[in-house]
Amino acid sequence: MHVDVLDSVVIGAGQAGLAASFHLSRLGIRHLVLDAADAPGGAWQHRWDSLTMHDVHGVADLPGDAAPPRSARRANEVVPAWFAAYERRHDLPVVRPVRVDRVEDDDGLLVVHGHDRAGRRSWRTRTLVNATGTWTRPFVPYYPGVASFAGEQLHTARYPGAEHFRGTRVLVVGGGASAVQLLGELAPVTDTLWVTRREPVWRDDDFDAEAGLAAVTAVEERVRRGLPPTSVVGVTGLALRPQERRAAELGAYRRRPMFTSVEPAGVRWADGAPGGPAFEEVGAILWATGFRAAVDHLAPLGLRSPHGGIALEHVPGNVQGATTAVADPRVQLVGYGPSASTIGAGRAGRTAATAVRRRLAAAAA
């Protein structure tokens, strides 16, 4: 029985996946985009309702199409509608919903296994572009007693908006941009407490192109060495936007170090209590503790280095061009490590498509 073999399969139809598909199409490379979501929009369709286009840190252009302008409209409506229109306009071969659970090697070909509404499916392909991002892998650290907490615990991936917490003292855990943004929403509405593992590094200067390059380079260096990637935002420092000034006036950004245990009514510090009492009563814990790369389905390919990350080939002069897996050059990762931003994902999509073309040409030679 003849089994069709694709030149490439893209997993994920967020910013990175759409950019990769656009460039693969332009290069005449036969491919499919497998997307786990029921509708276009990537992770944007799951963002909280209070996040407007004024609030987002930035949405980069897609290839050949400018990003929506800043406005008071909800980001979880605007960006998915833009993605949907982009898929139609460029006739991108997106198939959804398809949930990929593993990718295996089969005598030189890659076999992508997953399921759709009809049941189990598989696709055979010569190359793979992984664009699964991080949204499906929210990270919540373990602390003793965390299961005993009697209040509400939520990761930012399920943040329901500030009004949900009115009248409840909220503990926000995490030292990144999302923690700062959510404290900015919560503090004018209810009492808040902020804890971080490290003292926050605040930035009061303009974040120019040179600073951005330095931040991305630091992330690229980690993935080149096979270390788990940190987020680009995580190395840029924190800054308050105008909409967070009121929270600052209310003292929301006076942080405390991490607690040592969780109790039914709050959190406790074991050895003294820097900056406050040994016990703080809270009614809700909001874990703004980030995400991990959604790459478990690639485990059968053995891409991880001994250091726990997936090493990517360095591209001289292009820190966001690191997309090719060192352990298996048939595999490209976009939206991973140095390209884990909307602008980086778009650029990496082009780099990955070019790498796929080279791989196919070399295999055919």
In the chain, CATH 3.50.50.60 covers 5-136+292-364, 146-202+238-287
Residue 4 reports pLDDT greater than 80: yes
Candidate from 112-116, 142-146, 333-337 with smallest mean pLDDT: 333-337
d(CA 101, CA 83): 24
What angle do helix axes 342-364 and 15-26 make, rounded to 10 degrees? 40
Buried b (16+ CB within 10 A) or exposed e, 317-347: eebbbbbbbbbbebbbbbbbbbbbbbbbbbb
Neighbours of 359 (CB within 10 A): 19
Structure tokens at 193: 């407490």
pTM of the predicted model, to two decimals?
0.86
Q: Is residue 234 very low, low, confident or very high in pLDDT (cuts 50, 70, 90)?
A: low
237 neighbors 204 (Cβ within 8 angstroms): no
If you average pLDDT over residues 279-286, what whole number do you get? 97
User: Which residues on adjacent β-strands are paired with residue 357?
Assistant: none
Neighbours of 253 (CB within 10 A): 20
Q: Is residue 1 very low, low, confident or very high in pLDDT (cuts 50, 70, 90)?
A: very low
Q: Is residue 2 very low, low, confident or very high in pLDDT (cuts 50, 70, 90)?
A: very low
- For the ranges 227-231, 273-277, 313-317, the maximum mean pLDDT occurs at 273-277
If you average pLDDT over residues 151-171, what whole number do you get? 95
For the segment 342-353, what is each residue's pLDDT rounded down to a tens digit?
566 778 899 999
For the segment 99-127, what is each residue's pLDDT rounded down to a tens digit?
999 999 999 999 999 999 999 999 999 99
If you average pLDDT over residues 164-187, what whole number do you get? 94
- DSSP character string of 247-290: HHHTTTT-EEEPPSEEETTEEE-SS--TTS-SEEE-SEEEE---
Domain 5-136+292-364, what fold? Answer: FAD/NAD(P)-binding domain (3.50.50)
Closest CA to 289 of 182, 217, 129: 182
Buried b (16+ CB within 10 A) or exposed e, 206-216: eeeeeeeeebb
For the segment 77-96, what is each residue's pLDDT rounded down to a tens digit?
999 999 999 999 999 999 99
- For the chain, the average pLDDT equals 88
Cα separations in angstroms, 173 against 3, 111, 155, 193, 259? 50, 40, 10, 9, 10
Contacts of 258 (CB under 8 A, 6+ apart): 173, 195, 196, 197
Closest CA to 6 of 126, 168, 175: 126
Task: List the CATH code of the domain at 146-202+238-287.
Answer: 3.50.50.60
d(CA 117, CA 97): 7
